[in-house]
Every structure is written in C-alpha cells, then in structure tokens.
Amino acid sequence: MKLIIASNNKNKVREIKEILSDHFDEIISLKEAGLDIDVIEDGATFEENAQKKAREVFAAAPFADAVLSDDSGLIVDALNGAPGVYSARFAGLEHDDEANNRKLLAVMKDVQMDNRTCRFACAITVVRKNAPELNYTGYVEGRLLFEKQGENGFGYDPLFLYEPLNMSFAEIPSDVKNKVSHRYSALNGILELLNREGLK
C-alpha cells in the first residue's frame, strides 16, 4: 500500500516514516510523489486542517492508495490555548521556529512554572481508496520552559518540558521521543483503527 504524507516538512515526514515504516509498503512525501500543492490551512481546529489537507491531496493524487495528513501544534493553558492552530505562524512568518519561540517566551516571561502547563496536539486524517476516512487526535502533556534546552527536534521542542524524563523534547533522542510524542499517540491511534479492520 502506497501512502503519501501530505507534507514537505522534512522533520515531520521523517518522524512519520520512522513510526509507520513497518506498516506501509511505501511512504513518500508530496515532493517525492511529484505533487506541488499548497493547501490553505484555514480551519478552526487541528482536525479541520488535517481533514482538508488529506482530502485535497488525495483528490490530486489518483495513483495513491492513501493520503495521510496531520496538523499539530502547541496549546498553552495560560494563553487560553494559543498558539494552537497558529503554532507554525505564531510570530507571523510560517515555520520560523526561532521567531515563534522568541515570541512565546516573551508573552510567557512573567508566568510562573506552576501555571506553564501546556500540551502538544496532533490530529491525523487518512483518506483511502474504497475505505472510510480515519481520524485520530493525540496529545502529550508538558510544561513550558523559561529558555530553550537541547539541540534536537524542531518547532517548540526546545521549550517543551516532558516531565516524566525531566527533559525537553529537544533533549530526548528521536527514537525515545517517537514513543511518547503527540504524533506517536495519533499515529498509534490510526494504526489501532486499521488493525480493527484487519489491515496491516
């Protein structure tokens, strides 16, 4: 079964490939599939954005058996859920991780650690040929650090304290992160749905 990941974010594609490599015959990114499509993420929720991307890419890729899309971001309780669906463009320009982290630190600078609770969310949609659409949202709880820690990961990973290991997501090795992350939770949920159908 050929799966297209509706993304060209190399870090996100790498994580999904690492987690799902044993469950699909071929997993390719938009670029690897020869698709040049930019879906506008204007949904009010992560789920709406994931569904829109998966459906539009699937419509443009008749050669694919399935298309997987995810929308993920950081939810900070002290900011009433922000940056939320605007996580990638919190500072204005999309996918400017440094600017997003700087802005988040600035708006949270006076918030004490007890009130810095947050979570990563990841909504995944899989659209398939001749089969129902699958949707699942995964979460991982944490706290927002006062400064960046670690050199691995991407996005808000250096600011996200994973308390069970007392390490930021940017300090945790990728093979460990891939077993506790929001994306793993969501992908695992999708796999459980597939397994219920008797599929690989």
Q: Which of these, 173, 124, 153, lies nearest to 11 by C-alpha position?
A: 153
The SS3 of residue 12 is helix
Interstrand relation of 66-76 and 117-128 (parallel, antiparallel or unpaired): antiparallel
pLDDT in the model for residue 22: 75
Series of mean pLDDT values for 10-residue runs along the chain (200 residues): 87 80 85 90 95 96 92 97 95 88 97 97 95 96 97 92 97 90 93 76
Adjacent-strand bridge partners of 134: 126
The residue ranges of every structural domain in the chain are 2-196
Fold classified for 2-196:
Maf protein (3.90.950)
CB burial readout 124-163, b (16+ within 10 A) else e? bbbbbeeeeebbbbbebebbbbeebbbeebbbbbbbbbbe
Q: How many CB atoms lie within 10 A of CB 197?
A: 10
d(CA 126, CA 138): 14
**The two three-digit tokens of residue 125, written as one number:** 């949609």
pLDDT in the model for residue 200: 45
Task: Say which DSSP state 89 is in.
Answer: G
Q: Which residue has the tokens 């499509």?
A: 37
The SS3 of residue 185 is helix
Q: Which residues are catalytic?
A: 71
Adjacent-strand bridge partners of 139: 121
d(CA 90, CA 194): 34
Q: Which of these, 34, 125, 144, lies nearest to 83 by C-alpha position?
A: 144
pLDDT in the model for residue 121: 98
